[in-house]
């Protein structure tokens, strides 16, 4: 079943102006609320900006939430990055600009390439935010959060291709992300701000997504497939080989 609300496409005139002003003002308000330490209020504002998801009959709520999950993940992730930036006003403002660019320039696009890019951005941002914010939380919480992010990202990606096995593939990717997090979460390693599960999952996700995208448009040949697979395997081997596994148990 297609969601009743997937993307808000602004029309020209007054509604387009209002749409632009609202999406430009939201990151600024979030930035100001974080600066005055009203983080919970900023989170509420981000979630309330998606009120249209529930302005329909309840039987459409699940589909609408699933369709808008990536947008919410990006918003909440940006908030987490702002909080993690601490007292760095410049870095927090950079994240606010990034969020404005997402809302105005990336989220409204409906072409296959841009929908795929939306899934990747939400996927990477969500995973980074989870491990930055909850790196000392119980492993079960990390597993469930990563599994949900993987599922929603895959569902968003496959939706633009009308993939007949979209739900099955999304559940599989969610399970894979959760399983990998459960294994690596016992030795949670970080490379700067990036956790090891994030690096591996994003590498695999970009590689597999690129293969699917190129194959869908008949642009995938043997050499390209081999190069992408080689990069994925190389990243995996390098990460596992050069990681310090001693005394890293969470």
List, in order, residues 6 or more apart from 52 with CB less than 8 Å away.
5, 8
Give the 3-state secondary structure of residue 249. strand
Q: What is the pTM of this model?
A: 0.87
What mean pLDDT is reported for the chain?
87
Identify the pLDDT of residue 13. 57
Identify the pLDDT of residue 218. 87
Identify the pLDDT of residue 1. 43
For CA atoms 30, 32, 36, 41, give the dihedral sign: negative
Mean pLDDT over 228-244 rounds to 84
Mean pLDDT over 100-112 rounds to 91
Q: How far apart are CA 250 and CA 245, in angstroms?
A: 12
Least confident of 96-100, 132-136, 148-152: 132-136
Give the 3-state secondary structure of residue 194. strand
Mean pLDDT over 97-111 rounds to 92
Res. 3 pLDDT band, cuts 50 70 90: very low
Mean pLDDT over 210-223 rounds to 91
Res. 240 pLDDT band, cuts 50 70 90: confident
Q: What's phi and psi for 76, nearest 5 deg?
A: -65, -35
């Amino acid at each position: 079943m297609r969601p009743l609300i997937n993307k808000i496409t602004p029309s020209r005139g007054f509604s387009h102006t209002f749409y632009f002003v609202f999406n430009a003002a939201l990151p600024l308000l979030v930035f100001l609320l974080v600066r005055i330490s009203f983080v919970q209020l900023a989170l509420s504002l981000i979630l309330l900006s998606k009120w249209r998801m529930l302005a329909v009959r309840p039987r459409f709520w699940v589909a609408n939430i699933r369709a808008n999950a990536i947008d919410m993940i990006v918003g909440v992730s940006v908030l987490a990055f702002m909080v993690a930036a601490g007292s760095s006003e410049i870095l927090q403002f950079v994240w606010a600009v990034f969020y404005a660019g997402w809302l105005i320039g990336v989220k409204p696009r409906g072409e296959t390439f841009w929908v795929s890019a939306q899934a990747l951005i939400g996927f990477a941002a969500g995973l980074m935010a989870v491990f930055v914010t909850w790196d000392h939380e119980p492993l079960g919480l990390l597993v469930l959060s990563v599994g949900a992010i993987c599922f929603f990202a895959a569902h968003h990606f496959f939706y633009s291709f009308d993939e007949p096995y979209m739900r099955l593939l999304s559940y599989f990717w969610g399970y894979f992300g959760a399983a990998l997090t459960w294994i690596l979460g016992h030795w949670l390693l970080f490379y700067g701000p990036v956790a090891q599960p994030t690096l591996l999952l994003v590498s695999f996700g970009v590689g597999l997504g690129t293969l699917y995208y190129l194959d869908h448009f008949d642009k995938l040949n043997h050499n390209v497939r081999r190069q992408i697979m080689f990069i994925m395997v190389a990243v995996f081997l390098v990460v596992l080989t050069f990681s310090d596994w001693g005394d890293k148990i969470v």
